[in-house]
Chain A
Amino acid sequence: MQRLLTQDRAIRGVRYRDPDGWHEVRAALTVTAGGRFSRVRKLAGLPHNPNRLIDQIECRPRVDRIRLEGCLGGLEPRERVVVTMTFAEDRTAEEISEALSLTAGNVRVIRHRALARLRSCVEGGEA
C-alpha cells in the first residue's frame, strides 16, 4: 500500500504496487481504534490518539449500548476490571498487570476472552 485515494475530501480507497505494477482498491477503510502502527492512519495524517481518532473518522458505535451494558454485567469480575481499565481508562496490558499484580500475558488472555464473550453476547449469544 503506497497511497490513499481521495475524492470529495474523503478517503475512498488505497493505491498499491506489486510486481505487476500499480493497482487501486476502492473500499471503505477502517483504521484501528488506536492505529499506532497503521499505515493508513499515517498516510491520512491522523494523529495517534484512540479516543480522538474515533471522533475524527466519525465512527459511531454500532452495538446497542443497553445490550452492551447487560453483556458487561455478565463478565467475571476480573474480566470486567480488565475491560474497564483497557477501554475506559486506556491502560496498556503492562499497566493493568501492575495494578492487578498479574503478568501482562495473563492480562492479554483475560482481555481477549472477555472480548470474545462480549462479541458473542452482543451478537445474540450468551455472555
Chain B
Amino acid sequence: MTTCRVSFETLARWWLDDLPEAESAALEEHLFACDTCSAASERLGDLVSGLRAWIPPVISHAHRDRLAREGKRIRLTPVDAGADAGARFDRDLDLLVHVLRGDLSRAARVDLEIGRPGMGWRVVLEHVPFDRKAGEVLIACQRHYRDMFPGDPVFKVIVVEQGERRPLGEYLVIHEWM
C-alpha cells in the first residue's frame, strides 16, 4: 500500500471544517480517487466521530442544553461548597449533572481537581467551562465513571481572578448507583 500523500494535519483540518473552500473541495475530490488517503481519512473520521459523541466530565450550559434536546435523560443536583449532596443514578437516567455553585462573577478562568483521598486517583482539569453569571460549574457524571473513578469524588474548584488562583470551595457528592 502506498503512503497517504495528504498530511495528517490537512486531514484533521478537513474533518474540522478548518480548510479554505478551494482546498477542501480539492481534497474531497482527491479522496474519491485515492484509496490510501480515503482509508487514512476514514480512520481519522472514526476518531472524530468518537470525540464528537464524547461527553467530557465538565460541560458548558450550552452542551447540557444540547444533550437535553437530543433526548438525554438528565438529573440536576445543586451542590454548595462545604455541604454534602446526594445524587442517585437511576437506571432510566443517562447522565447526572452536579451543579457546583459559587461566586464566579470575577473569574477569568476556572480549574477543577477531582479526587478521592485514599482511592489513588486524582484528575486535574484546566480551563473548564463555567457560567459566570449563574455562578455554576456543571459536572457531567456518567455511568461508566463508577468503575473508572471509585468512591465518592471531591470536586475542588479553583478560580483564576486577575492572575491569582483562589480556591472557591470543595464539593462532595455522595453517589447511589442503581
Residue B18 contacts which of A16, A25, A108 (CB distance < 8 angstroms)? A108
Do residues B59 and A35 form an inter-chain contact, with CB atoms below 8 A?
no
Contact with A along B27-50 (1 / 0, CB 8 A): 011001000000001111111111
A30 CB contact (under 8 Å) in B41, B51, B124, B127: B41
Taken together as a complex, chains A and B put the C-alpha atoms of A50 and B52 apart, in Å, by 8
* Closest-CB distance, B164 to chain A (whole angstroms): 16
The majority secondary structure among interface residues of chain B is helix
Assembled-state Cα–Cα distance A122/B52 (Å): 15
Contact A65 to B124, CB < 8 A, known contacts A33-B15, A37-B17, A108-B18: no
Distance of A38 Cα from B50 Cα, bound (Å): 20
Given A33-B45, A37-B24, A115-B44, residue A54 in contact with residue B17 (CB < 8 A): no
Is A62 part of the contact surface with B, judged by Cβ < 8 Å? Answer: yes
| B53 x A61 contact (CB < 8 A) | yes
Total interface residues on B, using CB and 8 Å? 46
With A39-B28, A73-B123, A108-B9 already in contact, the answer to whether A68 and B45 are too (CB < 8 A) is: no
Interface stretch of the complex, out of B60-68, B79-87, B96-104: B60-68
A61 touches B32 (CB 8 A): no
- In the complex, the answer to whether B127 meets A62 with C-beta atoms within 8 Å is no
